[in-house]
Structure 1
Amino acid sequence: MIRLALFFLALPGLAEAACRQALAFGLDVSSSVDAVEYRMQMDGLATALNSDAVRDVLFDGPDAPIDVLIYEWSGPSDQTVIVPWTQLATPDDLAGVTLALRNHPRNPAAPTTAIGAALLAGFAFLEQRPACWKRTLDLSGDGYNNAGPRPQDIGHIHTPTGATVNGLVIGSGDDRRISEVAELSAYYLDAVVRGPDAFVEIAHGFADYAAAMERKLLRELTSLVIGAVTPEAD
């Protein structure tokens, strides 16, 4: 197995790249998310990013770090950047991101859930990182689109070339309502996620958010590591 950075730097046209993946997080902060759940979402993302397993992947290719951006969304005109594009080249860089998440206060937000507008905002952010070898948008949400453009009406022409949209669906945490989160997951699969290897992860309540986010990060971040494996000669 060769190092990830050397593997990609050896490919034609990629020698100048300095970013192996651009990862934008869009967090649902509409009225369905109360103050406690809001805090669990922010702290949960910080916890997942700082887990030992995720840190190992984040810092696996020091010659080509991962860039992250984090924003919150609610209504059609409500998208606020919490962490601007930040290169995770060192543990100190990651510490700055997690500190920003844990200290970010909740601001007034629209009561509506505008997933389509959140998608378009995420696409605009990803377009700011054209040199990254992989571009991924993560949308977390606990409800259906009810304002602004519908996500299923946003065609692939709007999606940055080669970009992937993954979803993290947040259920109620009540086992008696498992069918509801299954329906929401199906909605995300049909209308929201798109691109190469796109998938939906499920959090069974906001208390499960950190664990679900860690599972999702390991799944989407390790895909490049797998690509670094070369077959041994016979």
Structure 2
Amino acid sequence: MPAGVCSIFNFFKQRRAAISAVVAAGAFLAGALAVAQEGAPVDTALVVSVDVSNSVDEARYRLQMEGIAKALEDPGVIDAITGGSSGGILFSMVTWADTPSFVIPWIRIASKADAFAAAKRVRTLPQQGGEFTCMTRMLRSANDKIVPQIPAKAARILIDVSGDGPDNCNAEESIETVRNELVANGVTINGLPILLDTPEDSALLPKAVPGGKHPLEQWYREHVMGGPGSFVLPAQGYGDFERAIRQKFVIEVSGLEAPTYSKTNFAR
């Protein structure tokens, strides 16, 4: 090969190598940035757990999913999500009946677009059936599998528990044992009981007291809520779920004081 042609060939060969190196470096930096962004600290890591047991028919299921989706799209909730010191939260969802299902693994919400994308995922979740209300099993799974997977440092770790009945699953351990273990691990558990007409002679609930709290709300206070700033905020039936979950999100994500009538600072 003539010397001039060889020089030109080597020039272009070196140029291609340089370009490839720049592209590779750019890809590496982009990957590193993505990892750094994924691990950036957040104000709140929130697990939303939803009862889908035998009492939850298709209409009730949709009211819950639509309520959560609309709450995520609410301007007040989005302002609370993006207005914290870290500018975002981690969000996940569990549906539970006989067994829990981690239906939305941890995702970051740091903008309106993120919140709307999360709402879309919630709306498209297929209904999963089950017979029993195995709340203790769900909390055990959250403690052992979900909380340890939080992909970033969170100033607050919260679990929302909503449902229309008490645990009726005869778990191998008490719900208080698991609740207190979660609290010891730095988790706060808040309750959203969906209050329906409940027989006063239910063996699983406290006796109704005239002028007192609904038996299911009282059960949530005694057996579910725990941790710093924990509270119970009931929904007056499934039609009120959207209002309750929206209010609950604002309190939780913003770190506001819960209403004094429903706040505790310790596990019972």
TM-score bracket, normalised by the shorter chain, equals 0.7 to 0.9
Matched position secondary structure for 1:30: coil
Query: 1:116–1:150: 8 Å Cα contact kept in structure 2?
Result: yes
Matched, 1:167 2:187: no
CA distance 1:28–1:99, shift in 2 (3 Å): same
Percent of residue pairs bearing the same amino acid type: 28
Q: Which residue of 2 aligns with 1:231?
A: none
Output the CA distance in 2 between the equivalents of 1:62 and 1:197.
19
Output the CA distance in 1 between the equivalents of 2:179 and 2:243.
32
Output the CA distance in 2 between the equivalents of 1:155 and 1:102.
29
Output the CA distance in 2 between the equivalents of 1:220 and 1:90.
17
RMSD of equivalent CA atoms: 2.5
| CA-to-aligned-CA distance 1:99-124 (integer Å, 9 cap, x gap) | 011111213x3200111111112223
Output the CA distance in 2 between the equivalents of 1:99 and 1:74.
23
Query: 1:26–1:122: 8 Å Cα contact kept in structure 2?
Result: no
Output the CA distance in 1 between the equivalents of 2:90 and 2:181.
24
Query: 2:84–2:254: 8 Å Cα contact kept in structure 1?
Result: no
Bigger helix share? 2
Output the CA distance in 1 between the equivalents of 2:184 and 2:218.
23
Q: Which stretch shows the higher mean deviation, 183-192 or 115-124? A: 115-124
Q: TM-score, normalised by structure 1?
A: 0.80
1:1-234 equivalent positions in 2, closer than 5 A: 18-61=41-84, 63-75=86-98, 78-107=99-128, 109-123=129-143, 124-129=145-150, 131-147=153-169, 148=171, 149-154=173-178, 156-159=180-183, 161-172=185-196, 182-223=214-255
| CA-to-aligned-CA distance 1:136-180 (integer Å, 9 cap, x gap) | 0001011011112431232623545221000100012x6999x59
Query: How far did 1:65 drift?
Result: 1.5
CA distance 1:90–1:212, shift in 2 (3 Å): same
Query: 1:30–1:113: 8 Å Cα contact kept in structure 2?
Result: yes
CA distance 1:195–1:158, shift in 2 (3 Å): closer
Matched position secondary structure for 1:203: coil
| Stretches of structure 2 lacking an aligned partner (at least 5 in a row) | 1-38, 201-207, 258-268
Q: TM-score, normalised by structure 2?
A: 0.70
Query: How far did 1:127 drift?
Result: 2.3
Q: Which residue of 2 aligns with 1:4?
A: none
Paired amino acid for 1:28: D
Output the CA distance in 2 between the equivalents of 1:175 and 1:192.
18
**Per chain length, whose mean CA-contact separation is higher, i.e. which structure has more relative contact order (CA < 8 Å, sep 6+)?**
1
Query: How far did 1:214 drift?
Result: 1.0
Matched position secondary structure for 2:102: strand
Structure 1: which 4+ aligned runs deviate by more than 4 Å? 174-177
Output the CA distance in 1 between the equivalents of 2:179 and 2:148.
16
Paired amino acid for 1:98: A
Matched position secondary structure for 2:255: helix
Matched position secondary structure for 2:41: coil
Query: 2:179–2:224: 8 Å Cα contact kept in structure 1?
Result: no
Query: 2:189–2:225: 8 Å Cα contact kept in structure 1?
Result: yes
